[in-house]
Structure 1
Amino acid sequence: MDLAQIFADLDTQPWADREHAYGSADDVPGQLRALASDDAEEAEEALYELYGNIVHQGSVYEATAHAMPYPARLAAAGIRPADMLVLLGCVAESEDERSDTPGACRAAVTAQLPLILPLIESADTSVRQAAVWAAARTGAAEQVLPVLRRCWEGELDPLVRAEVLAGSVWLDPAGAGEYERVVTEVEEAAPVRLAALLACVDADLAWTPVHHDALISLLPAGPLVAGRFDMEQSEPLRYVVEGLLDRDTDEAREAAFSLVDAGLRHPDADARAEAVAGAEHACDV
């Protein structure tokens, strides 16, 4: 697919009549075209401006949905594919849609799955990881889960594997139990084991001493998610503590406080700092 095909229908759309975060979307076509620029600085600036317009602080708009085919086509054509996939994923995961047609933006990304899913087999690990994340965030379990399950069987890269696990549980929380064994499988890379622990929390699986010991053994955990896309899980210990406290049972509270206590006693200063953040958040909760 060449650029002429990618942007063939771009100018036929009434962008000036559509809205983004700052009003009329008449600047969106130019930004979309600039994504394909040979000038890396120009392309980066266009991506920055596009985020500000159509995924502004996590909010999406009428113009957002209509823009989605173009990043997907660019990714499929090998033009900044990882960046384009992350943009698509950010749109798909938004819970703040400011348009007259709720769900239109996620649906627009879901419509691009025929272009997104093949990129899960890319030779580039960053593209595979971004494709897994973007595909999962559509919530289209029937289309995406079979692809992720095939990927899980053969994927070796730890970050991609962690993304596959997280995406599978995101799409099918009831199936989280099949990944719980990963928590104790020492042959699995640390980012994958951590993803399994976070999935156990998300799926409300029982938190046992085995889970406790596994998480403490992975501290400091922040570096293990540094290359992941889920910003809510960027502080794993704090995330687990909050998830346990949200269960609102004596057992879960004791488990959360035990994690904080063990973290504060950890020999690694960075691990202790993560525990301090977890303790402060526990007080807020």
Structure 2
Amino acid sequence: MINEYEKLLAGLDDVDWASLSHAYWSAHDVPGHIRTLCGDDDEARKQAFNSLFNSIFHQGSRYSASPVAVPFLARIAVAGPAAAREKTMLLLTRLAVDWHDEYDVTTGINVAGWRAAAAEAGPEEFLPWYEEQLAGVTDTDERAQLQELRDWVAAGNSPDSRWSALQSYDAVLAELPGLLVLLDGDDRCLRTRIAYLLAWFPEFSATSLPRLLALAAHEKDPVTAATALLAAGLLGRWAVG
């Protein structure tokens, strides 16, 4: 590990990762992958990114470990090794909005509707069902499996993908104030990435929209300027809608 990046990982080992889940159940391996992103081995970093994309963002699914990883990834995106920052921004975008850019690029995301749907699919909605099922099960193996799922839901998890994805989205939303510094950086790829990410957060538009319009007006790189303009257009739709 390069010492200059140790501060970005403060608190990483304080998380009980083994009690969290990802696509392959226990998330005990997540801190190791995050730490590798700040190392100096390019091949190991590549493998770590692959592992994170396949575990905390598996084919678009988010898990209990996903939002917990977000603050550490945000720190790396802002001040991590140059070789890690752009791809970390891509991972943050995926953790926030899945593949929405493939479907909603002309309309943005109806976050209010998403929140309403997720509110009907939280853990408190599922817990009574699991407890009812447990009361009627006599098979030992089936009961053990149901008990494990019931305990997982009781710990604050939901089997509904809309709910789990929203937890990840909100974790990225909380990091946006710190990520805004990338709009003023020297790296055009990072300027493009943060402009793109901001497009999917209408709840942050009072802060982000003026910044995006300023970037579109003064940015010399055409791809970055176009991305900022597109993001502003998506956010403006919700701001006036």
Superposition deviation, residue 78 in structure 1: 4.0
Superposition deviation, residue 170 in structure 1: 2.1
Q: In the aligned structure 1, how far is the partner of 2:12 from the partner of 2:238?
A: 41
**Is 1:166–2:230 an aligned residue pair?**
yes
Q: What SS does structure 2 have at the residue aligned with 1:68?
A: helix
Superposition deviation, residue 27 in structure 1: 0.6
More helix by share: 2
Superposition deviation, residue 82 in structure 1: 1.1
- Please identify, of 65-74 and 91-100, the stretch whose mean Cα deviation from structure 2 is larger: 91-100
**Superposition pairs for residues 1-285 of structure 1, below 5 Å?**
2-79=4-81, 80-94=84-98, 99-100=157-158, 102=164, 103-139=166-202, 140-173=204-237
The answer to whether the Cα contact below 8 Å between 2:97 and 2:200 also exists between their aligned partners in 1 is: yes
Structure 2 portions without partners, runs of 5+: 101-113, 123-156
The answer to whether the Cα contact below 8 Å between 2:205 and 2:239 also exists between their aligned partners in 1 is: no
When residues 51 and 125 of structure 1 are mapped into structure 2, their CA distance, relative to the original with a 3 A threshold, is same
The TM-score normalised by the length of structure 1 is: 0.57
Superposition deviation, residue 119 in structure 1: 0.3
Superposition deviation, residue 116 in structure 1: 1.2
The answer to whether the Cα contact below 8 Å between 1:107 and 1:138 also exists between their aligned partners in 2 is: no
Aligned length: 177
Q: In the aligned structure 1, how far is the partner of 2:93 from the partner of 2:26?
A: 23
Q: What SS does structure 1 have at the residue aligned with 2:199?
A: helix
Deviation digits for residues 122-160 of structure 1 (CA, Å, limit 9, x no counterpart): 111111111111222233222221211111121121111
The answer to whether the Cα contact below 8 Å between 2:5 and 2:80 also exists between their aligned partners in 1 is: no
Structure 1 portions without partners, runs of 5+: 177-202, 204-285
The answer to whether the Cα contact below 8 Å between 2:217 and 2:225 also exists between their aligned partners in 1 is: no
Kindly indicate whether structure 1 or structure 2 has the higher relative contact order, using CA contacts under 8 Å at least 6 residues apart. Answer: 2
The TM-score normalised by the length of structure 2 is: 0.67
The answer to whether the Cα contact below 8 Å between 2:33 and 2:48 also exists between their aligned partners in 1 is: yes
Superposition deviation, residue 173 in structure 1: 1.8
The answer to whether the Cα contact below 8 Å between 1:2 and 1:77 also exists between their aligned partners in 2 is: no
Instruction: Tell me the C-alpha RMSD between the 2 structures.
Output: 2.4
